[in-house]
Structure 1
Amino acid sequence: MMTSKIKLLVIDDDDINIFIIKKIVEKTGYNVEMVAKTNGQMAIDYITMTLSLQENLPELILIDINMPVLNGWEFLDAYGQLNINQKIDMYMLSSSVYENDIEKAKTYQTVKGFISKPLSIERLTELFKIVEQQSSES
């Protein structure tokens, strides 16, 4: 297991989901710095601030679809306008069972997949392994 910290951004307006994800992160055994934002606009502000401070961006972003202010799709559109060249793995994390949401996720180049809630320890561990492999390759 790698010793460097994985930076995770969770964008979800549900405090209970954020709490559950935090607990799952702890159970994976990975060294993770988790930041949670409750809507897409707060996440865009966080990314913009991180860039302006020249700090490391998250390597992994989990995005809920239905949120106030900026929903998951609007976040992706706003993110696309930031012209960030760093590769960030993004996954839609949603309780939506609508096929059109899953299909829409595939239209975004930045979105690597669609995960149905609830998030499992196994699935999150898989995502961390992918991030780990990519950072060892770069």
Structure 2
Amino acid sequence: MADSVINLLVIDDDDINIFIIRKIVEKTGYKVNMVSRSNGQLAVEYLTEIADNRDVFPQLMLVDINMPILNGWEFLEAYEQLNLPQKSDMYMLSSSVYENDIEKAKSYKTIKGFISKPLTIERLSELLRLVTP
């Protein structure tokens, strides 16, 4: 596994989920700089601030659907309008079991897949391996 650091942005309003993902990140063995934002609006503001900084721009984003202010779908709409110079591998990470949410995720060009919670060490390791520079 590479010595480079992988930047991960988790957009989720549940502190427990954030805590669990941090613990899973530690167990993957990858060097990960994890940043979290509790809603889509804060994530848009963060990404706009760091848009030109390759050192901190996330290679991987995990986006929850149900959040206050800007939910996951609204975040995706706003993100696609930003036309940022850098791109990330983005996955919906949700406890939703609705087939229409899974299908809706497929309709976004920026979404690489839909992951049902809880996130596992194996699944996160696989995602990190895919984005390792």
TM-score by length of 1: 0.93
Cα deviation for residue 84 of structure 1 reads 1.9
Q: Which amino acid is the alignment partner of residue 87 of structure 1? A: K
SS at match of 2:93: strand
CA distance in 2, matches of 1:87, 1:121: 24
Alignment RMSD:
0.7
**1:1-138 equivalent positions in 2, closer than 5 A:** 1-51=1-51, 54-56=52-54, 57-132=57-132, 135=133
Higher relative contact order (CA 8 A, sep 6+): 2
Greater CA drift, 77-86 or 90-99: 77-86
Q: Structure 1: which 5+ runs fail to align?
A: none
CA distance in 1, matches of 2:85, 2:93: 23
Cα deviation for residue 55 of structure 1 reads 1.3
CA distance in 2, matches of 1:130, 1:42: 26
Identity across matched positions, percent: 69
Q: Which amino acid is the alignment partner of residue 121 of structure 2? A: I
Q: Structure 2: which 5+ runs fail to align?
A: none
TM-score by length of 2: 0.96
